[in-house]
C-alpha cells in the first residue's frame, strides 16, 4: 500500500489525479483541505508529512490564473507559488519521501522560443512579461527538484503541461484561463440573447490544449516510467497540435450553442504569439492523449452546466 499525498486535490489537476489514482486499490490517497493544511506554513507542512508517513507526492497545488490575473497579482503569484513548492518539496525530503512529481507550466519557456518547444529551450531567452513572476516560480520548482536529486539522490520529477482544461476548472469572469473564460462568456451571452461578444486581443495567438484527465494519466505515467533525470530535468506534456484563439473561440461558441458574432479588442494583449510543446520524450515513453478537443470541450461545458453553483462563478 502506497501513501500518496496529492497537494491541491480540489483543483482541476488534483481532482483528476484523485479520480485516476483511486482506480488502483493499492493506493492510499492522503488529501487535506486548505482549512486542514496551510501549504504556506513551513512548520505545519513538515508536521503533516511526518504524521502521515507519505511515500509519494503529486504537487498540483498552485496559484494559477489567466493574463488578467497574472498582470494584476504578480506579487501573489511569485510569492505563493515559491512558498508552496519550497515547503512541500523540502518537507518531502526531510520526511524521507523518495518519489515526487512537480507540476509546472509551459509558460516557463521564452516568449520567442523555437517551435515546437523542446525541454532544452528552458532559460534560453526572455519570458513573456505578463506571466513572468509565475513562470519564474515554476522554473525554481524544476531546479529545486533537480538540485535535490543531484545532492540527495531523491527521485523528484517535473512535468510541464501545455494549457489544460476540463472539470473543476476556474470559471471566474476575470481570473480564469482562456477556455473556461470563453465557455462562461458564450454561455452568458446565449442566456442574455446578446448579439455579439467582444474578446481580448486579435485572436491570432496559437495555443495547444490538453484535457485534464489526459494530464492526470500522463502524471501517473511519468511517475512510473524510467526517465534519464540527469539529462532531462523536466518532461513536456501536450498533444502536439495547436490552433489559433480565433479558431478556438469559434469551436467553443458552437459547443455552447451561441449564435451571435465575435468581435476582437486589439487594445488587449495576446500574450505569447505561439506556444506548442515538443512532446517527443513522453510520446516515446509510451504515453499519448486520448481525448480530442471537440469531445473535451463538450465534456467541460456539460460539467459547467451541471456545476454552476460551485464553478467559482
Residue-wise pLDDT for 27-79, tens only, equals 999 999 999 999 999 999 999 999 999 999 999 999 887 777 788 889 999 99
Largest CA distance in the chain: 60
Half-sphere CA count of 41, side-chain side, radius 13 A? 11
The rounded distance, in Å, linking the Cα atoms of 4 and 52 is: 10
User: What are the structural domain ranges in the chain?
Assistant: 2-170+209-241+277-291
Q: Is 68 annotated as a binding residue?
A: no
**C-alpha angle 109/169/225, rounded to 5°?**
55
pLDDT (tens digit per residue) in 229-264? 667 789 999 999 999 999 999 999 999 999 999 999
- Which residue reads 452546466 in cell numbers? 305
pTM: 0.93
Q: Is 167 annotated as a binding residue?
A: no
Class of residue 209 by CB neighbours under 10 A (exposed 0-12, middle 13-18, buried 19+): buried
Q: Determine the average pLDDT of the residues in 273-302.
A: 96
Question: What CATH number was assigned to the domain covering residues 2-170+209-241+277-291?
Answer: 3.40.50.720
Q: Is 163 annotated as a binding residue?
A: yes
Cβ atoms of 173 and 240 closer than 8 Å: no
How, if at all, do strands 206-211 and 242-244 pair? antiparallel
Q: Is 14 annotated as a binding residue?
A: yes
134 included as an active-site residue: yes
pLDDT at 158: 97
- Kindly report the length of the chain: 313
Tell me if residue 174 falls in helix, strand or coil. Answer: coil
When the pLDDT of each residue in the chain is averaged and rounded to a whole number, the result is 94
Half-sphere CA count of 37, side-chain side, radius 13 A? 23
The rounded distance, in Å, linking the Cα atoms of 171 and 152 is: 41
Q: Is 303 annotated as a binding residue?
A: no
- Which residue reads 483528476 in cell numbers? 16
Q: Determine the average pLDDT of the residues in 271-281.
A: 90
Residue 159, beta-bridge partner list:
103, 235
Q: Is 103 annotated as a binding residue?
A: yes
pLDDT (tens digit per residue) in 77-105? 999 999 999 999 999 999 999 899 999 99
Q: Determine the average pLDDT of the residues in 156-164.
A: 96
The rounded distance, in Å, linking the Cα atoms of 43 and 39 is: 9
Half-sphere CA count of 95, side-chain side, radius 13 A? 26
Q: CB under 8 Å to 218, separation ≥6 — which residues?
A: 159, 161, 237, 282, 287, 289
Pick the catalytic residue from 73, 79, 93, 134.
134
Amino acid at each position: 500500500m502506497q501513501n500518496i499525498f496529492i497537494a491541491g486535490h480540489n483543483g482541476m489537476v488534483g481532482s483528476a489525479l484523485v479520480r485516476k489514482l483511486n482506480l488502483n486499490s493499492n493506493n492510499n490517497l492522503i488529501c487535506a483541505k486548505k482549512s486542514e493544511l496551510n501549504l504556506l506554513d513551513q512548520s505545519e507542512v513538515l508536521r503533516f508529512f511526518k504524521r502521515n508517513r507519505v511515500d509519494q507526492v503529486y504537487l498540483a497545488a498552485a496559484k494559477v490564473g489567466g493574463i488578467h490575473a497574472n498582470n494584476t497579482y504578480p506579487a501573489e503569484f511569485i510569492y505563493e507559488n515559491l512558498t508552496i513548492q519550497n515547503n512541500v518539496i523540502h518537507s518531502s525530503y526531510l520526511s524521507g519521501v523518495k518519489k515526487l512529481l512537480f507540476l509546472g507550466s509551459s509558460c516557463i519557456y521564452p516568449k520567442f522560443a523555437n517551435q515546437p518547444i523542446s525541454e532544452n529551450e528552458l532559460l534560453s531567452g526572455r519570458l513573456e512579461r505578463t506571466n513572468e513572476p509565475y513562470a519564474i516560480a515554476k522554473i525554481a520548482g524544476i531546479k529545486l527538484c533537480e538540485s535535490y536529486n543531484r545532492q540527495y539522490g531523491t527521485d523528484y520529477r517535473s512535468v510541464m503541461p501545455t494549457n489544460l482544461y476540463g472539470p473543476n476548472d476556474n470559471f471566474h469572469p476575470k481570473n480564469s484561463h482562456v477556455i473556461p473564460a470563453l465557455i462562461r462568456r458564450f454561455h452568458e451571452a446565449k442566456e442574455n440573447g446578446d448579439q455579439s461578444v467582444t474578446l481580448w486581443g486579435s485572436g491570432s495567438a496559437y495555443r495547444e490544449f490538453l484535457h485534464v484527465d489526459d494530464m492526470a494519466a500522463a502524471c501517473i505515467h511519468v511517475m512510473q516510467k524510467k526517465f534519464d533525470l540527469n539529462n532531462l530535468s523536466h518532461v513536456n506534456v501536450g498533444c502536439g497540435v495547436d490552433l489559433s484563439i480565433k479558431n478556438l473561440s469559434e469551436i467553443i461558441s458552437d459547443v455552447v450553442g451561441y449564435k451571435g458574432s465575435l468581435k476582437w479588442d486589439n487594445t488587449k494583449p495576446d500574450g505569447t504569439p505561439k506556444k506548442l510543446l515538443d512532446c517527443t520524450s513522453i510520446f516515446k515513453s509510451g504515453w499519448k492523449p486520448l481525448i480530442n478537443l471537440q469531445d473535451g470541450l463538450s465534456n467541460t461545458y456539460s460539467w459547467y452546466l451541471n456545476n454552476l453553483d460551485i464553478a467559482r462563478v
